[in-house]
Structure 1
């Protein structure tokens, strides 16, 4: 690589992401044997207005590029100028993809081997607080004049690259970065290959975090390492920006896909990650609730909420909820008026339910009517089954489980195959409480539909947790900022 030609490149653009970016200025310096042998710089007419915030950053305005050449007029020059060179830039993915995008608009291809001075600096000059071009130049005493203009940034990058060359005289690091089979060739600038190497090839969830360790994306995978790498191979605009903002990756092995889906859903609810779209907005639930009116009659009604609460029954479809309310009203000879199935204050006159025994006309006693309502409520709750879905754990000797109590998801956990688990209370010491939602309900419903009752353990009665367990769980909830969980679970 001693006589290798390097093209140190910087572009200024209109902004708007990789897909919509157009070049407003480009500068290329050719470097051979550590010395600059040629340079090319020009403004470019982007064929669109330059946003004000871009002008404020770069100083390039619409008047400056009005008479500048269009990209198609300089494309051949750029192609020839960089023909035998390795494409070098600070955060090379940005500049390379913008230039390649311009060639694609002309129906042409542009392919070069490339090196990123951000990644090279992280490897060869470790321990810096920041690897932005400005901060590196300041720390390493590199002159950086005319910032955010293509030529000014290229001149600074040339000096930085010369220093990097002096730290890798055998070109060992640079060769490894350009190897197409190396992780270094595709990784975002702020991620080390070691972080990827440490990822497991197992089912679970992964969290992309920014420089401040804030979760910006939560995902699930059957193979965590393979799925994480797929984000970086994807050239979509969203995936590019996700990679640019990712500094750290955390993960959690769940052992099976069901728990991975449930844990992913909890992280999306809890962290509201910037790059997640699905599951960020809570879906509306419809709940059959009960209350006592001024006459002492137990009334049933349909409530709409985005938070699961204790109720007679919870449904994720309004039609389904109304049908169930009509069904129990007719089965237990309740009054449609006191089941909120009609809004008038006179005697009931439902189009289908005709077997009211007179509570609305005061020919039936409140006591007798309330006994029927209580029976209906018991029957409805009995239909909400309690069960555990067991599955593959994180290790060979472990079993994972998701626990559902009276139709509501309560959480997940793991226990050893040697543990004596006979009834629902036996799951208690291993349970990690989670908040139920429309999404967890849909995940569990989909799993049961796909897999049937295989590995499902049903229980006849719901558990009553011990006072000690309640105190322990509440302390854990406060510590984890999950106190809201307890407003959705009657702990007796």
Structure 2
């Protein structure tokens, strides 16, 4: 290791993510036996405008690089200069991936072993408040002149790396970092490897947190450790930026994927994480609402909203809501016109529903009609199912469950296999209450569609059976009624 060649590298760029981030300046210092043996530095024409905020940070503007060589003109020099060296940089993933991206643009492959002085510093100089190059140099008295220029940053990194070499006299730490099986080469610069070692290889959720312990990403996985590591192997700009801001990882075991999905949804709703896109925005819901018109007739209609509020019934796609409205209109002999199924102000003329008893033309008593509407509303409420989905717990002696009461997701929990769970009230001591949403509805509905009634325990309504007798549905497609429950259970 004494005679190993190290290339200490820094690049300045046009900014932005890895994709499309072009080099404006590069400096490489070759280190051998602890001493600098050669150095190469040049401005690079990025072949695009340099944003003003980058110029304000680095001092490099469009005029400075207008006559500089383009990357393809210096690529051979960079390739030869670093050919036998280990690629070293402060936050190495950034510089390494930007240079690889430049080589990729000219149809060439660039591959080197690499070392990160941020991660090495965290290991060999523990306890620092910050491991950014500027603050670390200030703390341990390393001169850092001409900051945010490639040569100035390389000169400071060279001295830092020399210090690190002196602290790792037998090269055991550096050798472990260079081991292709080591996580150190792929982990974000600020994330201790010990946190990865503590992750379980089980189902659950994980939370990426920034330096202030704020949740910046929430995810779910069948195997938490495997999924977390996959983020760091991914070279997309979003994943790279996520890694750069991650300082801590928390996790929660759920025992099975259904609960992982539900808990993930809750965390996204609570924390609104920066890097989560899905589930952050309220989805459109369609609600069957009732109101009284000028004639005193109780009308039904579909309302479209992104907020959950009181209504007769709530659905999560328009076709499902319309289908349910048509069903109760036909079943209870309501008028399509007063169910908003047609816009005509004349006598109803629905293409399928023909059993209106004349409210639209004044031949049916308003009071009698309104009683039918109330019966229809009551039927919607009574058809809301109550059930628990049971599944694998966090250990062999535990059962996990998600609970839906009268069509509304209530939450999840765990109980010991030795517990006697015979009715709906028996779940309550173990229940962790959660808020129902479009997303929890979609998760549970998808589970039922995929798995049928497997592991699902149904309960009769308390007002019908005072002893809350358990009722197990024998098959998923035993009756049309069963299919309707799966199709239309909602969060009304």
Equivalent residue for 1:289?
289
Higher deviation after alignment, 257-266 or 355-364: 355-364
Equivalent residue for 2:194?
194
| Distance apart, 1:353 and its partner CA | 3.1
Q: How does 1:6-85 map to 2 (within 5 A)?
A: 6-85=6-85
| Distance apart, 1:369 and its partner CA | 2.2
Equivalent residue for 2:210?
210
**What is the CA–CA distance in structure 2 between the aligned matches of 1:335 and 1:45, rounded to whole Å?**
73
1:115 aligns with 2:115: yes
- 1:308 and 1:436 in contact (8 A); partners too: no
| Distance apart, 1:152 and its partner CA | 0.4
| Distance apart, 1:377 and its partner CA | 1.6
| Distance apart, 1:283 and its partner CA | 1.5
- Render the CA deviation track for 1:111-167: whole Å, top value 9, x for unaligned: 111111111111111111111001011111111111100000011111111111111
**What is the CA–CA distance in structure 2 between the aligned matches of 1:297 and 1:179, rounded to whole Å?**
77
Q: What RMSD over aligned residues (CA atoms) do the two structures have, in Å?
A: 2.0
SS at match of 2:15: coil
SS at match of 2:19: helix
| Distance apart, 1:361 and its partner CA | 4.6
Higher deviation after alignment, 346-355 or 331-340: 346-355
| Distance apart, 1:296 and its partner CA | 4.7
Q: How does 1:243-254 map to 2 (within 5 A)?
A: 243-254=243-254
SS at match of 1:56: helix
**What is the CA–CA distance in structure 1 between the aligned matches of 2:370 and 2:312, rounded to whole Å?**
15
- Render the CA deviation track for 1:352-377: whole Å, top value 9, x for unaligned: 43333333455433432232122212
| Distance apart, 1:20 and its partner CA | 0.7
**What is the CA–CA distance in structure 1 between the aligned matches of 2:366 and 2:71, rounded to whole Å?**
83
Q: How does 1:369-388 map to 2 (within 5 A)?
A: 369-388=369-388
SS at match of 2:415: strand
SS at match of 1:375: helix
Counterparts in 2 of 1:462 and 1:271: CA distance versus 1, 3 Å: farther
Which runs of 5 or more residues in structure 2 are unaligned? 465-489
| Distance apart, 1:81 and its partner CA | 1.3
**What is the CA–CA distance in structure 1 between the aligned matches of 2:491 and 2:336, rounded to whole Å?**
29
Equivalent residue for 1:226?
226
- Render the CA deviation track for 1:285-332: whole Å, top value 9, x for unaligned: 111122344555433221112233343222222122122212211211
SS at match of 2:380: helix
1:133 aligns with 2:95: no
**What is the CA–CA distance in structure 2 between the aligned matches of 1:135 and 1:112, rounded to whole Å?**
28
- 1:424 and 1:463 in contact (8 A); partners too: no
SS at match of 2:18: helix
Higher deviation after alignment, 102-111 or 198-207: 102-111
Please report the TM-score for the alignment, with normalisation by the length of structure 1.
0.90
Q: How many residues align?
A: 467
- 1:307 and 1:437 in contact (8 A); partners too: no
Please report the TM-score for the alignment, with normalisation by the length of structure 2.
0.90
- Render the CA deviation track for 1:70-94: whole Å, top value 9, x for unaligned: 1122111111111221111100001
Q: How does 1:144-163 map to 2 (within 5 A)?
A: 144-163=144-163
- 1:386 and 1:462 in contact (8 A); partners too: no
- 2:86 and 2:113 in contact (8 A); partners too: yes
| Distance apart, 1:210 and its partner CA | 1.1
Equivalent residue for 1:338?
338
